[in-house]
Structure 1
Amino acid sequence: MHDVIGLVLAAGAGRRLRPYTDELPKALIPVDGDTTILDIALANLAASDLREVAVVVGYKSNAVEERREALERRHGVRLTLVHNDKAEVWNNAYSLWTAREVMSEGALLVNGDTVHPVSVEQTLLQYRQQEGSEDIVLALDTAKVLAEEEMKVVTDERGHMRRITKLMDPSEASGEYIGATLIEGAAVPALAEALQATFERDPQLYYEDGYQELVNRGGTVGTAPIAAGTSWVEVDDHRDLERARTIACRY
């Protein structure tokens, strides 16, 4: 079994978080003193012994480049920056596709706007030890009460993903995808093709729509429930940022 790398999607502009994102990408917003969302992601990956990390950058990428050496020293990781040239005009199906070569041996993907504890990474990596584990595994919160904005997932009786979309009745969902995926190298070619088909159909689609495309083509995507009561948040707006700041200091 190959060692996977860490992969952080950090290309987004985060327009709902202005003025913080006037000069910084969303991933560099501080959530605990000078600790940023990206710091938490890198710390979690390093604590999981994933020290080769690729970061997809786009909007205000120079801010990440300027901090690159400091981030490597602080977290004991080696960073490869992947440039998304369409970060400000296309959605993140394209963003993940741009990382297809760096993750050819597999990756543990985390969104660069999500604050969660290292137990999420550990849950996904433990899944690799199970016999017959799928090549793509999504971390799911199956305890949270869901509403309209969440990325909702429906699974079958084996825990395989059948549907993933924000656009479903929350009562139908098995849980919420929390922005962390284990992707084995064997799955990358088919995933890259599904992602390309997705953004070519509509550049505004999410990489999760690429997962749906893969399943529609006959691929299998597994799920791993995180521990009930795990404190995490996807930081989309100022209200989310306040929640991130209340929970980040506990990690």
Structure 2
Amino acid sequence: MRLACLMAGSSSRLLPLTTSRHKACLMLGKRRMVDYQLESFDRAGIGHKTFVLGHGGAEVAQILFESLAGSHFSVSYNPQFTSRNLDWSAWLALSQHPGPVIYYEGDLLIPPSLLRQVIDNPAEICIAVDSDSKNPCIDTLVIAPQGKVEQLLFIEHGTAKSRPGDGALGEFICFVKLGEAARQFIVGALSTLPFEGDMQLYHIFEQAFSRFPTACVDAAGRPWIEVDNHSDLQRAAHLAGEIVTS
């Protein structure tokens, strides 16, 4: 299955470290974040990979060509990463090739076992959730009344909180397996957007949840991290080795 990884954004919350480089190139101890990500993809058995690059793209591309020499991958450059929102990068990533795909946000470091479990799930759509998140700043919750995934409750800057009876399963881990029918639906919906203002991708995911069988896999205590700020970067340096072997 192909993995489509978005690595175009400028990561302003990690300034000045990201003034001229993408956050994926930042060091987590003795290795770069992208090195750990590629190891996790490899351990999960992911062959074909697509990367959408923008800010600091030349450095990321050089790392990819050196690290993935001889493997099946492609790189797409998004020169409009400052003027268009995430929806545009998502369209670039998901529209390039037919077939099932993993949508993957490039600030994530995910254990290979969780990636594999999502990939192997037979549902047309499969998402991942952390029902016992240790993240101090949760920005997206998975809402599933009566156990059916319906909503991604996104509140920017990490202020999302579950409430009794709201059906929240836990924190959304920002990668999604899409079968071909779901991929086509997502790409079609994205293609109608102006790619300006607030991103609409998560709302489109919600529309897809109502149209296609959707499953949810729990991290179940496995470590993972989304690197958004300096505190996340420090946590990632301590967790990275454990994550890629989980």
Shorter-chain TM-score category?
A: 0.7 to 0.9
**Superposed, which structure 2 residues align to 1:192-211 within 5 Å?**
192-197=187-192, 199-200=193-194, 202-205=196-199, 207-211=201-205
Q: Deviations over 1:77-99 (max 9, x none)?
A: 33201222321233212211112
SS in 2 for 1:181: strand
Q: Which residue of 2 aligns with 1:184?
A: 179
Q: Which residue of 2 aligns with 1:108?
A: 102
The answer as to 2:36 corresponding to 1:40 is yes
AA at the equivalent of 2:52: V
- TM-score of the superposed pair, with normalisation by structure 1: 0.84
Q: Deviations over 1:36-85 (max 9, x none)?
A: 22222222222222221101111121112222321214xx6332012223
Matched-pair contact (CA < 8 Å) for 1:12–1:59:
yes
Q: Distance in 1 between matches of 2:121 and 2:194?
A: 32
Q: Distance in 2 between matches of 1:166 and 1:203?
A: 15
**Superposed, which structure 2 residues align to 1:210-225 within 5 Å?**
210-215=204-209, 218-220=210-212, 222-225=214-217
* C-alpha deviation, 1:201, in angstroms: 7.4
Q: Distance in 1 between matches of 2:171 and 2:138?
A: 10
> Which deviates more, 220-229 or 102-111?
220-229
AA at the equivalent of 1:15: S
AA at the equivalent of 2:143: V
AA at the equivalent of 1:211: F
Would you say how many aligned residue pairs link Structure 1 and Structure 2?
236
**Superposed, which structure 2 residues align to 1:160-175 within 5 Å?**
160-167=148-155, 169-171=161-163, 172=166, 173-175=168-170
Q: 1:245 to 1:201 in 2, by over 3 A?
A: closer
The answer as to 2:53 corresponding to 1:61 is no
Q: Distance in 1 between matches of 2:227 and 2:200?
A: 16
* C-alpha deviation, 1:206, in angstroms: 5.0
Q: Distance in 1 between matches of 2:197 and 2:191?
A: 10
Matched-pair contact (CA < 8 Å) for 2:144–2:150:
yes
Q: Distance in 2 between matches of 1:213 and 1:88?
A: 27
Query: Over the residues paired in the alignment, what is the CA RMSD in angstroms?
Result: 2.3
* C-alpha deviation, 1:188, in angstroms: 1.5
- TM-score of the superposed pair, with normalisation by structure 2: 0.85
* C-alpha deviation, 1:124, in angstroms: 0.4
Q: 1:100 to 1:108 in 2, by over 3 A?
A: closer
The answer as to 2:83 corresponding to 1:95 is no
SS in 2 for 1:161: coil
AA at the equivalent of 1:160: K
SS in 1 for 2:176: strand
SS in 2 for 1:212: helix
Q: Distance in 1 between matches of 2:200 and 2:171?
A: 15
